[in-house]
Structure formats: structure tokens, C-alpha cells
């Protein structure tokens, strides 16, 4: 078995038996088996139990836990416990604690509280991981190593400042190059000695909530890059330590958030044997948002991922945490599978009686009963996965559309000072993702470094920051027949956040065949009317409106503004470039208006949905190694829907073994193969 594969579909999640008397563990395992749960993630937050004092290790409890799970034939995901430090470490080594954005050094508590530049933390973590790997690496029931937990957050301490100075010296080599990259003649910021560089926190060149406002954008962007790499280096250290004892078992950490702004997951992906993701959509999130995040996780390595955490009922840390409605949990778990997950895992398998997450949902709730609604739904999924999991295990989601999501753009776009306080990178991406989601068109969420040639259409909303060579890559893609869309605030700056001279959209001017003279910011409640096709269709332009001039001989106006002083000028353009086409959308359009535009683009690109019948059901397709297509049909609403006729006759529902029932209840689903 390859390191990027699992032996079976994992169904389970985080289990913390150390919080309970050992004489309850057997009962827990019997309850899990009743739901066909076949795996458990253990040892996530156990450092203080494993090492009660420096160098004094006690693995007796973990031995018993692993022995119990092994005897019960469970697949084990073994964590390294390094995400939460014991109290003695803070007491003995103050440098392990982070300094926050306000310049305050933290004390014992929380988690994700370690400084990535602390040599004491690195040494102690490495020692613990080595002991774990040496002790348990020969256990064949361990199917994955789980390093740390949900990395994230920045540190602004002196150790990080010194490490950052060294990182910058290695990157820029000379201070002249650094000053030029950061444009440091502005506000007398010229640096003459490396030790004059300070971290960009609230006491210096940043202000407002962390990651939102900065004076020297190059400094702040480089600090985000540095911190992401510093945490990644910690991960690599733990991974290399495990690999000294175990070369075969997959090693990973769990990604999280929507998405995590502090960690560049695309750069981290190369070090993950399998991508793992924790999914907790808010009660009012549209269903396309978690679908987008699943597609992002799948696309990081273009292979199936692990849904490592989700909740069987409710979370307890969102502003409002309602219960999932009957059937909703089943639909949301299968949504992850439909978009490429090969596991369904929960936080948590047994509900804690204390701590901040004691009211977070669990398979075994405080009632300790198995006749609850939530447990019955958990068991239903377990029985179904045992039946059909081998059919989709390892299967791919083929996509001919790629949407570019780039962490450097994420960081830089939301650091822009002025213009509008509504700079929302993720929201702008979701505008376009939703267009494909509602048409049931498979979509990869790709990086700027991915191979563009495998896609018929690439969409790059707010491609604000352009790395060297990217414009040439886009030009080649379009000239060879590709279809490309980008928008307002694209082609603006280089990787140091310095503006390209010569007019916007900078290095994209030729492929787009336009020049943007100015950008108007819409104040709240204001919009600009946009007219398509000589008045046949209209849209509302919000947020920003670019004042566009056509420059290419083959550039055409698709839609124009019909209000404000720029009425009659282009709002949307298309340029025929070589064998392909490149569109530019100069404003953030309302959903219906964007749909009108995307209808034409999708026709031009020859993109097809999974089925031909329009439907508001969510339908995705995975293709397994034998070439069989498995269709996941999800009703993501609490309303009855009808299965399209083209998916009834000649199809088999894998869950029933029969022709699919056409009437779908709220939150219902079908898993179909063609006869």
C-alpha cells in the first residue's frame, strides 16, 4: 500500500479514553462497533500525561488504550500530542510561549500556544515524538500518524524576530534588495542593518485586527510567509523523526478553518502524505461553501482526502450552535465523500464532561444511550459505509474547470489599504464557485503552480498579486485554446506588493486586451447598472467598478455600465487571444447577473455538468480505478425533491441495491451507478 492511501474507508474520530475510567473503555468500544465505527484517533492532547516532568515518560495508559483498540481490530490514527504543552514546560522555559499581536507574552493555557522559533519547544517535541515512534511504529493497526493538531496562529516574540531577520537575509541577500522590495523610502522606512527589522505587530507597522492593516505591506506579507514556513518546519521535524522508525505509514496533520489565513496549505501539501481536513460549517453557511472547501482540500494533492473532524450533532463554539436537523448530518457527511473524502471522522467519539468543548456533540453523548436520534444516524452511516465504501475508496473527481485560490493573493488582497473596507478574497472566489456548484459542474480549486493544460476553463477572481512567470503561463494557456476569466483588482502588484507600472491589469493587459484607468468604490447600498447584449439582460455591479478601455484588435465589450459618469463604457470584456479567449469582469456582479454572464462562458468553453437536466440537487461524480462512475445525489435542503428522470431507469442505488426511488425527502441522498 502506498503512503498516500488508506487500507479502507475510515469511520470514527477523536477518542479520549484518558478522560474516563479504564473500566468504561470496553463498553465504549462495544458502542462504537454497534455503529460500525472502525477507527479511532487517539493521543491528540496527552503530553502532560505522557511526560509529567521533563524526560520522565509514562506510556502505561497509552499502552492500554492502544492494546484495547488493537485487540478490537480498530484502525488507529496515532497523534503526537504536541499541540498543547504541559504546565511544567511554561514554568521551566518561558520562551516556549508565544507573544501575541499586541506584544504580550502568553502564559500556560490554551493550545496552539507554542512559539515556532523556540529551541526548547523543538527539542522537547522531538524527544516526545521519537519516544512515540520508537514504541508504536511496529503496530500494524496504526494506519496514520497525526502530527500536532490544526496548526495556526502567529508569534511576535524576540526569537521569532531574530529568526525572521535571518530568513530575510537568506531571501534578499542584501539590504538594498530588501529596501527596494519593500519600497522602504516611503515614510522613511529605509533599513541599514538587519537587526533594525522588527515584527509587524500592533506596536509597529500594523494596526487593527491581526492580518488586516499594515503600513509596509512587503514586511507583513513576508512575515506571514515566514511564520507559515516556520510552523511547516516544525511539522517537518516531527515527520522526519517518525520516519526514522516508520517509513510506510501515512503522516499528516489536519487543516482547518474557512480557510486558515495563517497557513499556506498549498505550500504545506507536498509534506502531507494525505490531506486531512476538519469541517465545521456554520448553521447559516450556504451549502456551496463547505463544498468549495472540500474541493480545495481534494485539489491540494489531486487525490482523495480525509474528513478528519466533523460533528455528529452540534458544535459548541460558534455564535449560535443549533442541532443538525434529522437527516442533515448524514447529508453533510456524504457531501464530503462526494467531493473526494475517503473517511468520515468525528470530533468527538465520546462527549467530555468538562472543559470548553463539553457541549460539543459526540457519538456517545452525556446520556450514554444508543437510542438517541444522533446515534441512530451515526450508526446508519456506519452500516452504509461498510457496505459501499470499497466502491469509492481511492476514486477521483474528474474536473475540467479550475478556480485559482492562492494564499499570497489571500494575504495581500486583504492588506490593501483604502479603496474599500470590504476586500473579501474568499467571498469573491465563492461568487464564481457557486456558479459551477449550482450547475453541478466539477471544479478543482487550484494553485498558480498547477498544470493549467488539464482544464478547459480557468477562473482567477481578484488575481491581485502576480508572481514572476505567471502572466506568461496564462498567456500560453489562452493562446493554446484555453478559456480564462479574471476580474477587478487583478494584475495589480508583484510578490512584494509593489504596483506594476504602465497601467492595470499590469502583465495581463495583452491577454485581456484592456487598460483599466480608474476603479470606483461603491459605498454601502450603492450599485451600478450593467447591461448585456444591447439591453436584453441586466445586472447590478457592486463593491468596485473598473473604468475600462479596449486596447486589443480582437477585444469586444460583453456588457457595459448604464449609470454613473462612466455609463456606456465597458464593464465586461472578452479578448480572442491565439486560439483561446480571456474575459475580464470589471465589477462584483449580483448573482443573477453573474449567472447570465457565466452561461455564455460555459457554452463557449464547452463545459458540461454531471447530468443534462437542470436541478437544485447537488450531484457529483467520482471515478474509481476500474473506470466505474459513482454518482452522489444529495438533497441539501430540508424540503422534498424529485430525482431527475435521467437518473432513474437504468440506474442502481448502491445503498438499496435496487432502482433508485425518485422521491427524495429533505436531506436525502442516493449513491448511483449505471447498470
CA trace torsion 220, 280, 443, 212 (10° rounding): -20
- Which SS3 state, helix, strand or coil, does residue 528 take? strand
3-class SS of residue 429: helix
Q: Which long-range contacts (CB under 8 A, 24 or more apart) does 317-322 make?
A: 317/356, 317/357, 317/360, 318/280, 318/282, 318/283, 320/283, 321/283, 322/283
Quick check: is 564 catalytic? Answer: no
Phi/psi at 5 (5° precision): -125, 155
Give the number of other Cβ atoms within 10 Å of residue 381's Cβ: 20
SS3 state of residue 392: helix
- Stated as kind and residue range, the H or E segment containing 269 is none
DSSP assignment letter at 661: P
- Phi/psi at 347 (5° precision): -110, 110
| SS3 call for 573 | strand
For 324-355, the three-class secondary structure string (H helix, E strand, C coil) is CCCCHHHHHHHHHHHCCECEEEECCCECCCCC
- φ/ψ of 199, rounded to 5, equals -70, 150
Active-site hit among 51, 54, 119, 150: 150
Query: CA triplet 168, 170, 175: central angle to 5 degrees?
Result: 60
> Is position 517 annotated as part of the catalytic site?
no
What DSSP assignment string belongs to 476-500? Answer: HHHHTT-EEEEESS-S-B-TTSPBP
560: nearest Cα among 594, 528, 582, 512: 528
Q: What is the DSSP annotation of 197-265? A: ----STTTTEESSTTTEESSHHHHHHHHHHHHHHHHHHHHHHHHHHHTT-SSS-EE-EE-TTT-TTS-H
Q: How many whole angstroms from its chain centre is CA 442?
A: 17
Choose the catalytic residue: 119, 196, 202, 309: 309
Residues near 550 by beta carbon (within 8 Å), at least 6 away in sequence: 513, 514, 556, 557, 570, 573
Active site residues: 150, 309
Amino acid at each position: 500500500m502506498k503512503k498516500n492511501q488508506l487500507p479502507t474507508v475510515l469511520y470514527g474520530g477523536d477518542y479520549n479514553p484518558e478522560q474516563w475510567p479504564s473500566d468504561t473503555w470496553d463498553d465504549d468500544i462495544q458502542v462504537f462497533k454497534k455503529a460500525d465505527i472502525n477507527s479511532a484517533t487517539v493521543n491528540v492532547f496527552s503530553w502532560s500525561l505522557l511526560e509529567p516532568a521533563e524526560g520522565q515518560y509514562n506510556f502505561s495508559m497509552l499502552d492500554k488504550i492502544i492494546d484495547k483498540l488493537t485487540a478490537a481490530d480498530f484502525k488507529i490514527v496515532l497523534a503526537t500530542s504536541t499541540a498543547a504543552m504541559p504546565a511544567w514546560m511554561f514554568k521551566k522555559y518561558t520562551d516556549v510561549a508565544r507573544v501575541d499581536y499586541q506584544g504580550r507574552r502568553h502564559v500556560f493555557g490554551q493550545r496552539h500556544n507554542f512559539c515556532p522559533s523556540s529551541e526548547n519547544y523543538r527539542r522537547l517535541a522531538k524527544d516526545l515524538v521519537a519516544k512515540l515512534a520508537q514504541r508504536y511504529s511496529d503496530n500494524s493497526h496504526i494506519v496514520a500518524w497525526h502530527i500536532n493538531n490544526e496548526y495556526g496562529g502567529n508569534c511576535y516574540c524576540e526569537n521569532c524576530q531574530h529568526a525572521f531577520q535571518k530568513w530575510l537575509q537568506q531571501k534578499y541577500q542584501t539590504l538594498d534588495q530588501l529596501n527596494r522590495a519593500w519600497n522602504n523610502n516611503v515614510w522613511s522606512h529605509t533599513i541599514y542593518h538587519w537587526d533594525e527589522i522588527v515584527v509587524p505587530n500592533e506596536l509597529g507597522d500594523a494596526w487593527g485586527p491581526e492580518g488586516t492593516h499594515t503600513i509596509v505591506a512587503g514586511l507583513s506579507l513576508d512575515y506571514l510567509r515566514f511564520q507559515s514556513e516556520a510552523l511547516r518546519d516544525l511539522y517537518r521535524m516531527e515527520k522526519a523523526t517518525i520516519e526514522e522508525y516508520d517509513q510506510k505509514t501515512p503522516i499528516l496533520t489536519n487543516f482547518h478553518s474557512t480557510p486558515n489565513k495563517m497557513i499556506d496549505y498549498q505550500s504545506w501539501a507536498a509534506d502531507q502524505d494525505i490531506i486531512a481536513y476538519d469541517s465545521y460549517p456554520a448553521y447559516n453557511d450556504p451549502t456551496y461553501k463547505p463544498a468549495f472547501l472540500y474541493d480545495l482540500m481534494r485539489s491540494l494533492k489531486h487525490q482523495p482526502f480525509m474528513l478528519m473532524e466533523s460533528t455528529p450533532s452540534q458544535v459548541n463554539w460558534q455564535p449560535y450552535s443549533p442541532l443538525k436537523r434529522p437527516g442533515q448530518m448524514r447529508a453533510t457527511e456524504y457531501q464530503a465523500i462526494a467531493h473526494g473524502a475517503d473517511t468520515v471522522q468525528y470530533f468527538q467519539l465520546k462527549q467530555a464532561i468538562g472543559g470548553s468543548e463539553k457541549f460539543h456533540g459526540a457519538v456517545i453523548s452525556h446520556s450514554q444511550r444508543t437510542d438517541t436520534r444522533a446515534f441512530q444516524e451515526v450508526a446508519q452511516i456506519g452500516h452504509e459505509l461498510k457496505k459501499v465504501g470499497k466502491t469509492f475508496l481511492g476514486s477521483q473527481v474528474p474536473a475540467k474547470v479550475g478556480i485559482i485560490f492562492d494564499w499570497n493573493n489571500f494575504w495581500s488582497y486583504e492588506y490593501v489599504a483604502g479603496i474599500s473596507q470590504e476586500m473579501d478574497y474568499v467571498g469573491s472566489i465563492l461568487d464564481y464557485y457557486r456558479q459551477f456548484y449550482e450547475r453541478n459542474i466539477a471544479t478543482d480549486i487550484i494553485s498558480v503552480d498547477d498544470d493549467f493544460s488539464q482544464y478547459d476553463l480557468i477562473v482567477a477572481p481578484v488575481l491581485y498579486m502576480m508572481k514572476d512567470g505567471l502572466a506568461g503561463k496564462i498567456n500560453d494557456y489562452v493562446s493554446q485554446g484555453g478559456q480564462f476569466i479574471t476580474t477587478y483588482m487583478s494584475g495589480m502588484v508583484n510578490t512584494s506588493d509593489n504596483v506594476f507600472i504602465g497601467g492595470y491589469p499590469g502583465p495581463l493587459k495583452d491577454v485581456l486586451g484592456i487598460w483599466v484607468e480608474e476603479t470606483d468604490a461603491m459605498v454601502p447600498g450603492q450599485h451600478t447598472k450593467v447591461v448585456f447584449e444591447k439591453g436584453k439582460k441586466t445586472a447590478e455591479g457592486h463593491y468596485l467598478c473598473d473604468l475600462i478601455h479596449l486596447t486589443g484588435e480582437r477585444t469586444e465589450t460583453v456588457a457595459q455600465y448604464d449609470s454613473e459618469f462612466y455609463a456606456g463604457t465597458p464593464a465586461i470584456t472578452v479578448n480572442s487571444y491565439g486560439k483561446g479567449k480571456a474575459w475580464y469582469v470589471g465589477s462584483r456582479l449580483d448573482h443573477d447577473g453573474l449567472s447570465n454572464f457565466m452561461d455564455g462562458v460555459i457554452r463557449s468553453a464547452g463545459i458540461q455538468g454531471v447530468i443534462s437536466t437542470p436541478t437544485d440537487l447537488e450531484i457529483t461524480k467520482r471515478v474509481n480505478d476500474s473506470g466505474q462512475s459513482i454518482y452522489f445525489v444529495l438533497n441539501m435542503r430540508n424540503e422534498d425533491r424529485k430525482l431527475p428522470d435521467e437518473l432513474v431507469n437504468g440506474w442502481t442505488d448502491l445503498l438499496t441495491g435496487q432502482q433508485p426511488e425518485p422521491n427524495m425527502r429533505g436531506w436525502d441522498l442516493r449513491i448511483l451507478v449505471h447498470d
